[in-house]
Structures are given as C-alpha cells and as structure tokens.
Chain A
C-alpha cells in the first residue's frame, strides 16, 4: 500500500493566485480529512468527507477555501485567491471509517504564498 499520497510536496505561489492541493486516500478508506498545520495554531481540521460527501466544513477559514471529493480515490483543496497568511503545511488523512481506527496521514504539502 502506497499510503496517502499528496501532491505537490511544495508549492510556492504569488498572492492572488489559485492553488490546488491534491490527495489520494488509501484504497478502501471511506473517510478523508484535510488539516492545516502552522506554528501559531497547530493542527486544524478544515473539512472532512465520509463516502465522498462533505460532513463538516466548519473549519474552512474563509470562502476562499473549497474542497471536493469527486470519487473515492481523489480529493482537492483549492484556495482562490491565495494570501500570505495561507502559508502552512496542509495534510490529508484517510480512515477506514470509525473513530477507533485512527488516521493515516500523507506527507503534506508545504504552501508558501509570497
């Protein structure tokens, strides 16, 4: 199993540009989570999906952020327009479905907005 795969690993973009982060969860996992990690705020849950359906997006900071999961093997997190304060490491994680399993995290995407 290749684990949770995120791309790109690093992204540097200019303020105002659109950024799309991608995630491929582990096959068979039916829950997917997007987290953001910063020094100031630690790990924050942005949104999570169960069976490709968004369940809770209350952690999405602004309307500039959107996430989709068109099928069980792919999800995107989009920021449009990006701002310097969006700079962070964004993690995707997947789970087999219940709280007892814990989550498998991807290696993250380090986003820098200049």
Chain B
C-alpha cells in the first residue's frame, strides 16, 4: 500500500524567504509523485509531477521538487515566497505503472502555507 506523510500542517515564512514543504512517501514500487496547490474555495491544481525522468522537477509559479529515493522524499521548494503563494499544498503518490488505466492518487493531509508580509 502506498502512503504520503506531509510534515507540518502549517508552515509560515516571510515574503521573500525560502519555502520548504516536506513530503515523504511509502510505495512498494517506483512511485509517481505529485504536488498540488489548492487556493481557497477552489479545486486542486497540479504544480508539478515526478514520473521517473529527471529527479529535479520544475513546476509552475517557480516551485520545484527533488525526488530522493534514498530518503523516500519529494520536498517542495521555492527560493523566494510571494504573498500569492499562500494556499494549501498537497503531496500525492500513485504507483500505477501499467498504463491504460489510472489508479487513485493517495494524498497527504496537506500543508497550509502562510506568508508573512
């Protein structure tokens, strides 16, 4: 069974500071990993995904994440936080490798990112 753990339900950073949101996964097979962002009263939007190509993945809005197999981690970072980054962030894992059909993603509990002016 696959699972995702996001460390810290709330993370607060100052505007312009580094953003680091932590995600550790558990999967019995090489995983596909995703980060989603949810703004208030909206659905989830895909930020970036890892699908066994490059271990450093760049996404939208200046975010990136690095897949580290030895640490079973997929932490999300952004060099300089902006007020508009305030949102809920979800890490997710899928171990679907067969193609032709999608298994459900398993989501972490989410991390609420707060940006201090």
Using CB atoms and an 8 Å cutoff, list the residues of chain A in contact with chain B: 4, 31, 33, 42-43, 45, 48, 50-51, 55-56, 59, 91, 93, 95, 97-108
Contacts and interface: CB of A to CB of B under 8 A. Distances in A.
Report which residue of B49, B103, B110 has the largest number of chain A beta carbons within 10 angstroms of its beta carbon.
Answer: B103
B117 interface: no
Interface of B: 32, 34, 36, 41-46, 49, 51, 90, 94-110
Contact of B32 (A99, A104, A105, A108): A99
Contacts of B110: 42-43
B104 A33 contact: yes
B96 A98 contact: yes
Given A48-B104, A97-B100, A100-B32, 18 more contacts: A4-B43, A31-B102, A33-B104, A42-B110, A43-B90, A55-B101, A91-B43, A93-B43, A97-B99, A98-B98, A98-B100, A98-B101, A99-B51, A99-B103, A100-B51, A105-B36, A107-B41, A107-B43
A95 B103 CA distance: 10
B96 A45 contact: no
Given A91-B43, A104-B46, A50 B101 contact: yes
A20 B96 CA distance: 30
Given A42-B110, A99-B102, A91 B44 contact: yes
Given A42-B110, A43-B107, A102-B34, A31 B101 contact: yes
Nearest to A34: B104
Nearest to A97: B102
A9 B41 CA distance: 10
A81 B98 CA distance: 38
A31 B103 CA distance: 9
Contacts of B106: 45
B49 A100 contact: yes
A6 to B, nearest CB: 8
Contacts of B108: 42
Nearest to A94: B102
B101 A103 contact: no
